[in-house]
Structure 1
Amino acid sequence: MRTIRLWPLLATALFLTGCSSAWKLLEGVTGEKDVVLPGKRESVLSPGDSTTAPSEASSEPIVIPTAETNSSWAQPGGQATNSFGNLSAGATLSRAWAASAGEGTSSEGRIVASPIIVGGTAYVLDSRSNVTAIRTSGGGQAWRVSLVPEGKSTRAFGGGLASDGQRIYATSVFGEALALDASTGAVLWRKKLGAPVRAAPTVSDGTIYFTGSSNEVFALRASDGGELWKYQGTGGQATIASSPSPAVAQGFVVIPTTAGEIIAFTATDGLEAWSDALTSSDPAASATNIGSVAGRPVIEGNQVIAISNAGRMAAFALNNGERQWTRDISGSQTPWVAGDHVFVIVNGKTIMALSRRTGAVRWSKELPGKVWAGPVLGGGRLLAVSSDGQLASISAQTGEVLNTTKVSDAFFIAPVIANGTVYLLSDDAELIALR
């Protein structure tokens, strides 16, 4: 059923800048059950234990779709829906090359945006707002361009990249959106927005969609940056260092907000179709949870799946917002949808498989190490990376960790896959290609 929007009153849009990663803020934070909302709901976390959950419907096998090769990873979530199924990737992965992609995380900035892969080139936004183009054939640098306006300090971070195959579209914390020539990095147009942008864009059917720091929603023409429509949002709660992007499909654009909501708009004119809160109105819960939707919403068919940091994961009908199921779990990572199942990392330390139809938990496993980002599904197995530099391969059928490999010092960005190659962006801005 469609629900009433619950904008938090007297809240301000505060972007936390005092830690070295989004997930370090989340270590030890668990969702708390409080206000009962409409829809099917069942707690999956045992009291006092955020890493265990009962398995349900265990007699039904988890069937993984046949792997398909994607030629590009053109959007922060792979494509405009933020859903990609099972992608081709080798059964064993070895380092093909590694290349510097700019400035890594430091006290002056952090890497928060996913790399994109288009036309044989990887594009990376670093912690100092530089965009670097790297050839995927061997890791050679094609070009590097700064997004920092003249006279501005580079001590700011945020934004992200997306592409339509010909141009690279960038959003920046300096309150601008830009289009770059994919081959040369030349600035084709530059649009001043009047508000900082820390979220990544999504481009679809000639339009770029993204959110501002106070939950404004922008829709710009990809050809020249002209404004098609704008939604004036309301400042939300404190948020974590992340770069979530909208999901776009079937004439709808679904926006994640720092207020813990998702809002669906009609893509052509920006009319609000429906909205739902994934955050608690309990002040006690709000004090211990950062309520933003830091992961990307996912569209698969007529279903939207989203998770917030304040103890809510839910599925909705895309066309009318009817809630299909709800789970009392928290997370800052984007759920990965494949076939009839959803795979998600909860509180940075537990990976779960849920039924897309009912939200039933098929399995739940605690991951070794510190805090994890991902997963993506490549070659029939789940891949995730950790804050202590590990790459884990996980069985999609059982959740068993098949192997872990030390690859770098730290990862906070989920892997991306294109043409059978797995790309990892480390916290020190090294792009690593595995084949």
Structure 2
Amino acid sequence: MKGACRRILAGLLMCPGLRLQYRGNGALVKIGISGKLYILLGIFSGVMAIPAWAVEHPVGFPGPLPPSLQQEGKTASSAVVSPLPPDTWPEEGGGPSRNPVFMMIAGKKEEGPGWTRTFRVDRLPGETAAPPENFFAGVVESDGILWMAGLQGDILAISAKDGNLIWRRHLRAPLPSPPVVGPFSVYLAASEPGVTLPHLVLYSRTRTLVRGEGPGLVEALAKKSGAVRWSVQVPGGCYGSPVLLPHTIMVQTGAGHLLFLDRRDGHTVYDMLLDGRSLGLASPVRDNLRVVVAQENPPLYQEVSLSGPRRLWRFGWSKTRDWEHFFIGTPLLAGKTLVGILRRPDLPDDQVVAINPDQGRVLWSLAFPPGDLPRAGDQALPVVSGDVVYVPSGVSRSLMAVGLKTGKALWTLRLSERPSTGGAVTGNLLLLPLPSGRLLAIDIRTGAVVGERRVAGHLGPHPPVVVGNRVFVAGEDGTVARILLDEWGERIRDLVLPSKPASGQVISKTAVPAP
């Protein structure tokens, strides 16, 4: 009887005449004009048409894979051993900490020297020289392959060992966020904003509208060949990365939709309409059954439970006009704490805010010193390692280490440029990319800069990727580089050894100015 009820519920969830309205933590079900017919069809389809694997998880939320995918996964895993999680990308693909650092397989030897490659877009007829690729979204590493998405619409797969091109695919729209790599497919979100001059004028004041335009595109490519498996259009612009679930991928759109698309063919399994109109460059952030969606302006966080699905709470900044405050970038989930950056453009200043994700209430907040407003599109992506969160501020040109539980500033590193990410932490070493193309090596115990390298002409807002002693970066000038930490000096090597950061008093440091 219990199984039959689940099948009936699964059928009801597939009915187009059934709509859910959420009030607080409860749900009100509304039946449309043809609701009775849809209920009958839902019962029939629930009993007759739902495959066995969908009984427990009718709309593709976390649970066992379908039998076909389970078999494919077993076949693949017996042939390939990956040092990375096989079915997720932790930076923008939904991982709660956004610290892209992985250990090598025990006993696997590092091979090959460091290298630097520069990639250009395909030259058009009549062009004497093609412009460089723009890897604003940084780099993703999986199974010895680097994946870079370009703002010109290109996605490239190259060898992590020597930087040689494996395949390149040109897609229909710019790719502003990192791809997400699954066992057999690469998933991307793109957007065709259709920006006009009035859009830009309004966006310079309010940071709205431009990112809510569309249409958005979500596409799946074959991992080995780059062939397009499917491409679907979604309402509003798609500017964040998808999040992989066992049967679906989850994307948020500028029109306020949280969509669940079937991984096999891209059809919409579930469409959840959220509050708001400008979801910005943020990606959904998932921790188990919890998903947080960030709206940029007006500033709003919404938490959704994948058990249902249903909205649990919404957190907004009250008593402000649209352009007085906004959240910048994708927040992070670190256990019982949600961390995000609130920006006030009137002073201007940045403020790091910690929220209890179970209740949607503020735990603590900490303000950076006031400064000047960065260019439109600036990001602030905090990173957590252990009990410390590393928070960048483009307004104050600084990086702050903050105790996650206490909200106490441990140290502040003042910079001559505007950081967009908290970097990547391995052991006691933090690697911080800067817009000028410099990569700083920082001792996380004191905030002191212990090394520096110029690795590209310009680096975007995403952290480098660390795999063992190898560091991978991709720049906005088409540069992709592999750096070996072993070749960076003994002091750097000593910091890479795993150790907990010290929790000392407030320290202020000043980095070497950019040339």
Q: Same fold (TM over 0.5)?
A: yes
The C-alpha deviation readout for 1:90-148, integer Å capped at 9, x for no partner, is: 9xxx97122345549x9999643232211111111112111111111111111111221
Going from structure 1 to structure 2, the CA distance change for 1:227 and 1:319 (only over 3 Å counts) comes to: farther
Q: Which residue does 1:244 correspond to in 2?
A: 282
Greater shift, 307-316 or 117-126, is seen at 307-316
Which of the numbers 328, 340, 343 marks the counterpart of 1:306?
A: 340
Greater shift, 73-82 or 211-220, is seen at 73-82
C-alpha distance in 1, partners of 2:430/2:364? 24
% identical aligned pairs: 19
Quick check: 1:434 aligned with 2:479? Answer: no
CA positional deviation for 1:248 = 0.8
Going from structure 1 to structure 2, the CA distance change for 1:267 and 1:103 (only over 3 Å counts) comes to: farther
C-alpha distance in 2, partners of 1:117/1:356? 28
C-alpha distance in 1, partners of 2:238/2:320? 29
For 1:135, give the aligned amino acid. S
For 2:149, give the aligned amino acid. L
Quick check: 1:382 aligned with 2:430? Answer: yes
CA positional deviation for 1:269 = 3.7
C-alpha distance in 1, partners of 2:121/2:387? 40
Normalised by the size of structure 2, how large is the TM-score?
0.61
Question: Runs in 1 of length 4+ with deviation above 6 angstroms?
Answer: 106-109
Q: Which residue does 2:272 correspond to in 1?
A: 231
The C-alpha deviation readout for 1:218-264, integer Å capped at 9, x for no partner, is: 2222233232322334554695xxx4322111211111222222211
Question: Contact 2:279/2:296 (CA < 8 Å) preserved in 1?
Answer: yes
Going from structure 1 to structure 2, the CA distance change for 1:370 and 1:305 (only over 3 Å counts) comes to: closer
Q: Which residue does 2:456 correspond to in 1?
A: 408
Q: Which residue does 1:423 correspond to in 2?
A: 472
The C-alpha deviation readout for 1:277-308, integer Å capped at 9, x for no partner, is: 2x56434xx6566x2431x2212223222223
Going from structure 1 to structure 2, the CA distance change for 1:116 and 1:244 (only over 3 Å counts) comes to: farther
Question: Contact 1:253/1:265 (CA < 8 Å) preserved in 2?
Answer: yes
Which of the numbers 403, 419, 432 marks the counterpart of 1:355?
A: 403
For 1:328, give the aligned amino acid. A
Quick check: 1:254 aligned with 2:292? Answer: yes
Question: Contact 2:442/2:451 (CA < 8 Å) preserved in 1?
Answer: yes
1 or 2, which has the higher helix percentage? 2
Question: Contact 2:133/2:477 (CA < 8 Å) preserved in 1?
Answer: no
* Equivalent residues, number: 350
CA positional deviation for 1:418 = 4.2
Going from structure 1 to structure 2, the CA distance change for 1:95 and 1:323 (only over 3 Å counts) comes to: farther
C-alpha distance in 1, partners of 2:165/2:442? 32
CA positional deviation for 1:70 = 5.7
Question: Secondary structure at 1:205's aligned position in 2?
Answer: coil
Question: Contact 2:83/2:103 (CA < 8 Å) preserved in 1?
Answer: no
Question: Contact 1:95/1:432 (CA < 8 Å) preserved in 2?
Answer: no
Question: Contact 2:252/2:279 (CA < 8 Å) preserved in 1?
Answer: no
Quick check: 1:96 aligned with 2:130? Answer: no
Which of the numbers 290, 293, 299 marks the counterpart of 2:328?
A: 293
Normalised by the size of structure 1, how large is the TM-score?
0.71
Q: Which residue does 1:332 correspond to in 2?
A: 379
Going from structure 1 to structure 2, the CA distance change for 1:88 and 1:202 (only over 3 Å counts) comes to: closer
Question: Contact 2:260/2:269 (CA < 8 Å) preserved in 1?
Answer: yes
Which of the numbers 86, 89, 113 marks the counterpart of 1:75?
A: 89
Q: Which residue does 1:321 correspond to in 2?
A: 360
Question: Contact 2:389/2:404 (CA < 8 Å) preserved in 1?
Answer: yes
For 2:101, give the aligned amino acid. L
Q: Unaligned regions of 5+ residues in structure 2, if any?
A: 1-23, 25-81, 105-111, 123-129, 193-215, 345-349, 371-377, 485-515
CA RMSD of aligned residues (A): 3.3
C-alpha distance in 2, partners of 1:378/1:78? 18
CA positional deviation for 1:391 = 0.8
Q: Which residue does 2:140 correspond to in 1?
A: 116
C-alpha distance in 1, partners of 2:165/2:387? 40
CA positional deviation for 1:272 = 0.9
Going from structure 1 to structure 2, the CA distance change for 1:81 and 1:415 (only over 3 Å counts) comes to: closer
C-alpha distance in 1, partners of 2:331/2:406? 18
Which of the numbers 271, 280, 288 marks the counterpart of 2:310?
A: 271
The structure having more radius of gyration, on CA atoms, is 2
CA positional deviation for 1:79 = 5.8
The C-alpha deviation readout for 1:137-169, integer Å capped at 9, x for no partner, is: 111111111221xxxxx6x55354112232111
C-alpha distance in 2, partners of 1:401/1:288? 35
Going from structure 1 to structure 2, the CA distance change for 1:303 and 1:409 (only over 3 Å counts) comes to: same
Going from structure 1 to structure 2, the CA distance change for 1:238 and 1:305 (only over 3 Å counts) comes to: closer
CA positional deviation for 1:312 = 3.8
Q: Which residue does 1:132 correspond to in 2?
A: 156
C-alpha distance in 2, partners of 1:376/1:171? 24
Going from structure 1 to structure 2, the CA distance change for 1:248 and 1:135 (only over 3 Å counts) comes to: same
Quick check: 1:158 aligned with 2:176? Answer: yes
Which of the numbers 342, 357, 380 marks the counterpart of 2:389?
A: 342
